[in-house]
Every structure is written in structure tokens, then in C-alpha cells.
Amino acid sequence: MHGSLNEELRFLAKSLAGIARALEIKDLHESLTSRQRSIDLLATSGLSLLGGPVETGGATSVLQMSVIVETISKSCSVADFLGTSLLAPHLLLCAGLSPESNALTADGRRLVVGFDLNLRSIARGDGAPMAAIDIGTAPHTALHLSRDGRVLLATPVPNDAQSVGEDIGRRISILETDNGIPIGDLSEAMYLSWERFAHVAVASELLGLMQGALDMTVQYASERKQFGHVIAQFQSVQHMLADCHAQVESVRSIVRSAADEEDRHGSNAPLTRTAKIASSEAAISVIETCIQVHGGIGHTWEYPLHLYLRRALLDRLLLGDESTLLEDVAREILTESAS
């Protein structure tokens, strides 16, 4: 299964390709209009609660989730997707809670996850501020943890919460953690299950960003002419594109392997972390190369490649960058070896 997909998942990916194209940013100066259009499209497509229970629209497997996220992320849409559709609903699911179990998660409120300010882990209710990822236009509730990490807390997001961060397509708001309301318990096993899912989800988004940027660049190189020839005929450009393709395919194999392993056994944290490490490293390399192939236009505000790079840089930090996760993986494999 690792590098390939069964017929059902291949059909799903093809079916979602049209939605991904519809989510593409058409005009960077109409981000609010694009955001609402994208949110509505995701809702009507049944993807708004992808990380939740199957009966309410959740993915039937981690691998299915990964394929969907990769496909949708090729567009680098301004829709609130990663936090509200995946990470927050799945955190509630891992805690054994339903949205209807608490007023702060019911009544159509969108859920987001509150992270500490370095984005490495879920924020704790210790008075320090938190960063809520993917704040949309509807009423939101941020999910985070108690000081000891054993209780899931909910904090209403003010309607006037200011957006911060370099990813102009994804709103991030800074909130306080000291007024969270307990809504349920969260054991260590529950948290680790969510973390593995989240690492695969973020890695899948990075994979989609890489593929989307590469697709855009291949098309550009096939059309852009210099010295009377399309630049795709130049050997140096061909080598750059081939190297990007190799990196994308390598990451795809690792991400799908991690998703498949999670579905089968659900306990291989080193593999899901490895997927996040590999995708983080490759995404920056691939997207920066794509910008280089585009030349001057790739650096302009009007051309969307900078949005791909901004989002990849944020995802690289989310739930740990390479240095943090490499330490975790080393500790885990050494502990396993010693036992």
C-alpha cells in the first residue's frame, strides 16, 4: 500500500481534483470573498468535519484522510481546513466527546486547536497565550489542555480576534489560556493518538503543497520561452524539476506508509514523526526551487507561489520542526532498542 493506492482511493483522489481546482486562489486582493467561497465549497463537499466521526463526515481511515488532504492542499486554498476540519474535530473524537456534549462545541460552532506560541504542542491552561490556527468567519471555540495535560479545555474565540502570522491565507489568532472551561478528560494515550493523526495530516498538507507548486512550475516551464525555446528544454531546468519530482515521490511514500501503519496498528509514533520530518524538509526545498524556475515572476506578490512557501514554513513549525522531532525519534528508537 505504501506508495500506491487501491482503486477506491485513486477514484477518490480523482473525484476531489475538481474541488481542489475550484479552491485555487483566483485573486489575492479578494481574500475574504475567496475564503467564504472556499468554506462553502468544503461544507457542501462534506469535508468540513473530516477529522471527526465517520457518521458525521469523518474519514474512514487515516490513509483516506491523508489522500484527501494531499489533494485539497494542492490549491493552497484560503479556506479554514487543517485546524477546523481535521485537527480540532479529531481532538474531540480522541477525547471520546461529541460536539453536542458541551455548549461551547455545539450549535454549529467551528472548533480550532490552541497551540503554544512556538506551535510545537497544544497549549496548556497556565496563563501563557496560545495561537489558535485557522480562525474562520463563524463563531469559534479553541480546544487546549489543562496545566497537567489531563483535561481538555474550551475557550470561546472573540469575534474581533486579530489575525497574525506570515500565512495570509490562514488566519491565526493569539488568545489567553487562563479562562478555559473543562469539557472532558484526555489521557496520555488519547493525546498520543491525536498527535500521530495530526503529524500525518500536516505531512499530507505539506505533500499537497509540494505537488501543487511543482505542477504549477511544470506548466510554466512548458510555456515560458527564452532565446526562442521553452525553458523546459533546458537541461538545467529539467534537472531541477526532476529533483523536485524525486523529492515529492519520496515523501509521498513515507506519508502513505505512516498513514497505512496508523490504520493497521496505531502505535508507531516514530514513523508518523518521520513523515512530518521528511515532508517539512522537502517542502521548503521543492517550493523554493519552483520559485527559482519561475524567475522574477515567482517572487511577485501577484503570483501565488509565495503563499505556498508561507504555508509550508508555518506547517514546518506546527507540532515540531525537524530538530525537535529528530530528538523525539532518536529517543524512541533507542528506548525500543534497549528493551
Model confidence at 80, in pLDDT bands (50, 70, 90)? confident
Contact between residue 287 and residue 209 where contact means Cβ atoms under 8 Å apart: yes
Task: Report yes or no on 288 lying in a domain.
Answer: yes
Phi-psi group of 261: left, alpha or beta (phi > 0 → left; psi -120 to 50 → alpha; rest → beta): alpha
Q: How many domains does the chain have?
A: 1
Task: Report yes or no on 161 lying in a domain.
Answer: no
DSSP 143: E
| Distances from the Cα of 261 to the Cα of 150, 151, 256, 309, angstroms | 27, 28, 8, 29
Q: Strands of 110-115's sheet, edge to edge?
A: 163-164, 172-175, 130-133, 110-115, 140-145, 151-157, 181-185
What is the per-residue pLDDT for 205?
97
Model confidence at 214, in pLDDT bands (50, 70, 90)? very high
Task: Report yes or no on 208 lying in a domain.
Answer: yes
**What is the Cα–Cα distance from 103 to 178, expressed in whole angstroms?**
19
Contact between residue 322 and residue 206 where contact means Cβ atoms under 8 Å apart: no
Of all residues in the chain, what percent carry a pLDDT higher than 90?
A: 58
CATH label of the domain that carries residue 214: 1.20.140.10
Task: Report yes or no on 27 lying in a domain.
Answer: no
Of all residues in the chain, what percent carry a pLDDT higher than 70?
A: 91
Assess whether pLDDT exceeds 50 at residue 265. yes
Give the pLDDT confidence of 66-78 residue by residue, as tens digits. Answer: 999 999 999 888 7
Mean pLDDT, the chain, whole residue set: 88
Domain that holds residue 214: 189-333
Task: Report yes or no on 254 lying in a domain.
Answer: yes
Q: At what angle do helices 62-73 and 235-264 cross, to 10 degrees?
A: 150
Task: Report yes or no on 271 lying in a domain.
Answer: yes
Assess whether pLDDT exceeds 70 at residue 3. no
Phi-psi group of 143: left, alpha or beta (phi > 0 → left; psi -120 to 50 → alpha; rest → beta): beta
Report the pLDDT averaged over residues 183-202.
96
What is the per-residue pLDDT for 1?
42
Assess whether pLDDT exceeds 80 at residue 29. no
Task: Report yes or no on 275 lying in a domain.
Answer: yes
Task: Report yes or no on 193 lying in a domain.
Answer: yes
Lowest pLDDT segment from 83-87, 156-160, 289-293, 307-311: 156-160
What is the per-residue pLDDT for 331?
92
Contact between residue 176 and residue 185 where contact means Cβ atoms under 8 Å apart: no
Give the pLDDT confidence of 91-119 residue by residue, as tens digits. Answer: 999 999 988 878 778 766 788 999 999 99
